Amino acid sequence: MAFMKAALGVRFLAATAFLAGAAFFAGAAAFLAGAAAFLAGAAFFAGAAFLAGAAFFAGAAFLAGAAVFAVAMLILSIT
């Protein structure tokens, strides 16, 4: 009888350890998935910021070119 109780206790401990290990690996997988999603979001926002900056500088260059053109036309019209 004591042997059967000991065997049941060992089986219970083994099942508990197995479930704890499964929960740990499920948590680790969820953590890694969250980290991957965070990095993907960070990369997306970095790309969006880069594109916004590129658009800003393209617009600034266009305005500078337009200003140079306007000054050149003004000088040509005066002379």
Please give the pLDDT value at position 6: 59
d(CA 49, CA 57): 12
Rounded mean pLDDT, 1-10: 59
Identify the H or E element spanning 72: helix 2-78
- 3-state class percentages of the chain: helix first, strand second, coil last, to nearest 5: 95, 0, 5
pLDDT in tens, 10-68: 666 677 777 777 888 888 888 888 888 888 888 888 888 888 888 888 888 888 898 88
Rounded to two decimals, what is the model's pTM? 0.46
